[in-house]
Structure 1
Amino acid sequence: MNRRISLIDRAVALLTGLAAVAGGVWTVGLFLDVPLAQAIAGRIDFSAWRSAPVQDWFDLVLAGILLLSAALGGLLIALNVRRYRINRVLSPSSDERGTIGIDLAALADAVARDLEEHPRVGSAHAVVADSRGRPTMTLTVHARPDADVPALVAVLGQSEREFRAAVPGIELDTVYRLHLYPVGR
């Protein structure tokens, strides 16, 4: 997810939350006979609201609201479920004689398979994606609950050094997520 989508998501959540809080405060104010809440309720023309469904424009307004809401909802869903995977990057060693493409996804999968060979590791999974505008390799490692965590951290550190030696100069953030299986598995 990039910053722009994150900002849009937060703005939508903020506006929805503020509208819900305002509606709740107004409702509580009506219940407690707060003068401001009563004044707001007094300004509402209830007869106009009750007669709106029989007006000629009402169906068009509802259809417009439906279409606009469906379009905005679909856009928000599409933006949030879009994958930001990164496959190939160019090596800094590329020059005018040719380019060197590195398949980071395949390399990350190889790192995960290598980590799975370790006796303390149950499984490992790698994803290379754009995270907040930065290319990021995320390795999720699952280990037994009795695993020696400092030893696993050392293994992950060695894996990081080997990865950096294999792709010098490639700008890529790495995130290691270490999950321990629940006891009793």
Structure 2
Amino acid sequence: MQRNAYNAQEAAFNLGIRIDLVRTVEMAWQWSPLDRAMMISVDLPRHVVNEAIAHCICHVELASTAKGTAALNGQWWRARLEMDIHTIVAERLISVEALADAISITDNIADVAACLGTTEFMLSWRLQNLTDAQINELPIFALNRLRWGPGHDPDAPARCGWPVPGTGEVYRETNIGRHRR
């Protein structure tokens, strides 16, 4: 069942990319440019397969761009290209409309990701890369209810809390064990 708007397998087929399911413990997925084939572990959950195929498609699409070519030739930071790919995949997999629906019915990242048929990583990436215009399309009370922020980690050294809406009061919690000098 396809729970998000982007069907990566269909997109791959339209680009002439073959998808092979394989039994392996060595990798989750692998792209073979010579064969224009993607090998995916059969043990991956369906939503992870869709995300992996979408990621591969972005690599194929960006490989012929100036940035993609530069990254392949060691002239551009590959991690920056990966970040761009995550952003594209997140936008394709998670529309603002679907995100608005999902955050309206549940209040935590795991459940929102499940509603959207994506991984928590991809949902978090999408949330931290929303434009101001996209944020304005979302129910802010529901976003705040998620209690999530970019790089949020429950064991982070400090986090800010807003206990009473509208009062302007802010408190800061610190986790002493996480502070290092």
With the shorter chain as reference, the TM-score category is: under 0.3
Q: Which structure dedicates a bigger proportion of its chain to helix? A: 1
TM-score, normalization by structure 1: 0.20
For normalisation by structure 2, the TM-score amounts to 0.20
Between structure 1 and structure 2, the one with the greater Rg is: 1
